[in-house]
């Protein structure tokens, strides 16, 4: 898919069949920078501009939940300088976008091991979450120091603790009870999962929640991804028949 196709616009979308929750694996910042003979950090900087575009577009269209994979637990293994630059960019993004999030009724929420983030980033995140808590237009979830297996493990441990404490027997545990102990508690599962830069991988992202998500992988590198291609994917999503394991109607 590319952004040069026939222009899809917001008006071409069927408002009654929008995904309630879009999740995105933002990949390819490093390759974008390499192609331009730039430092990887320049790729992340350009990538954060794409984040702004996609957040704005999602809000405009009426997406209720947007979850962006901004930093995985595995990303801690990257060079210190790159991790530091990503943290600085994240803080800058939160500070720059706060006004717009408040004006546009966007709530910010973070998923992941917050305690591993630098103290100043934690503070900015907490402040942004607090100041946008009452917003109901769209929820922007940033997955930070996030890993799905560890999230599911946390839920399993919580349930095991409750069983041991005699709250309920193990046999009474339901899918809903496990889902309530994930970071995404109370949110609809993603209907649409987008991955940029062509890799056919899930990379430990929302493993429980994407059980029935429609997956779109585009070769476009994240910094080159934009409004047009996003709208094209949403249009294509609306043409897919979602059967949830059932037979066609
Ligand atoms: C993948 O590119 C991207 C990341 C690891 C981080 C995503 C971060 C941003 C888009 C910018 C900052 C985020 C916010 C929310 C403002 P990669 O480095 O893995 O690319 P490569 O696979 O080409 O090396």
Q: Is pLDDT above 60 for 135?
A: yes
Query: How far is the C-alpha of 128 from the C-alpha of 106, rounded, in Å?
Result: 11
Q: Is pLDDT above 50 for 56?
A: yes
Provide the 10 A C-beta neighbour count for residue 104.
16
pLDDT for the residue numbered 244: 83
Provide the 10 A C-beta neighbour count for residue 95.
12
Q: Does residue 241 contact residue 16 with C-beta atoms inside 8 Å? A: no
pLDDT for the residue numbered 8: 76
* Residue the block writes with tokens 């508690």: 185
Report the DSSP pairing between strands 138-146 and 65-72. Answer: parallel
Q: Does residue 100 contact residue 58 with C-beta atoms inside 8 Å? A: no
- CB burial of 187-226 (b: ≥16 within 10 Å; e: otherwise) equals bebbbbbbbbbeeeeeebbbebbbeebbebbbebbbbbbe
The rounded Å distance from CA 28 to ligand 1 centre is 7
- Ordered by start, the domain boundaries in the chain are 18-147+189-238
Query: How far is the C-alpha of 150 from the C-alpha of 197, rounded, in Å?
Result: 25
Q: Determine which one of 4, 12, 27, 224 is catalytic.
A: 27
Question: Does the annotation count 105 as an active-site position?
Answer: no
pLDDT for the residue numbered 6: 56
* Residue the block writes with tokens 């706060």: 98
- Compute the average pLDDT of residues 63-85: 98
CA proximity to 30, closest of 86, 68, 84: 86
The rounded Å distance from CA 236 to ligand 1 centre is 25
List pLDDT tens digits, range 110-131: 999 999 999 999 999 999 999 9
Question: What mean pLDDT, rounded, does the chain reach?
Answer: 96
Q: Determine which one of 75, 104, 135, 204 is catalytic.
A: 75
User: Candidates 31, 47, 87, 88: which one to mutate for ligand 1, based on the most atoms within 8 Å of Cβ?
Assistant: 47
Q: Which fold has domain 18-147+189-238?
A: Undecaprenyl pyrophosphate synthetase (3.40.1180)
Percent of the chain with pLDDT over 90: 91
Q: Does residue 220 contact residue 197 with C-beta atoms inside 8 Å? A: yes
Structure tokens at 248: 């066609």
């Amino acid at each position: 898919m590319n952004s040069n196709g026939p222009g899809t616009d917001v008006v071409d979308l069927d408002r009654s069949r929008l995904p309630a929750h879009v999740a995105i694996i933002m990949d390819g910042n490093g390759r974008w920078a390499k192609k331009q003979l730039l430092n990887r950090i320049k790729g992340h900087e350009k990538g954060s501009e794409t984040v702004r575009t996609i957040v704005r577009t999602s809000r405009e269209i009426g997406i209720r939940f947007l979850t962006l994979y901004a930093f995985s637990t595995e990303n801690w293994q990257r060079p210190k300088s790159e991790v530091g630059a990503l943290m600085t960019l994240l803080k800058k993004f939160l500070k720059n976008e706060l006004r717009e999030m408040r004006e546009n009724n966007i709530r910010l929420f973070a998923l992941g091991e917050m305690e591993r983030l630098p103290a100043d980033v934690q503070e900015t995140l907490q402040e942004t979450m607090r100041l946008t808590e009452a917003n109901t237009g769209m929820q922007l979830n940033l997955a930070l120091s996030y890993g799905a297996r560890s999230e599911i493990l946390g839920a399993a441990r919580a349930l095991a603790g409750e069983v041991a404490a005699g709250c309920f027997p193990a046999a009474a545990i339901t899918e809903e009870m496990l889902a309530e102990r994930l970071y995404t508690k109370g949110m609809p599962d993603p209907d649409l999962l987008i991955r940029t830069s062509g890799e056919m991988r899930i990379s430990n992202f929302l493993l429980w929640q994407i059980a029935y998500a429609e997956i779109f992988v585009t070769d476009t590198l994240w910094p080159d991804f934009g409004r047009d291609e996003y709208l094209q994917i949403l249009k294509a999503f609306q043409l897919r028949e979602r059967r949830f394991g059932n037979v066609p109607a």
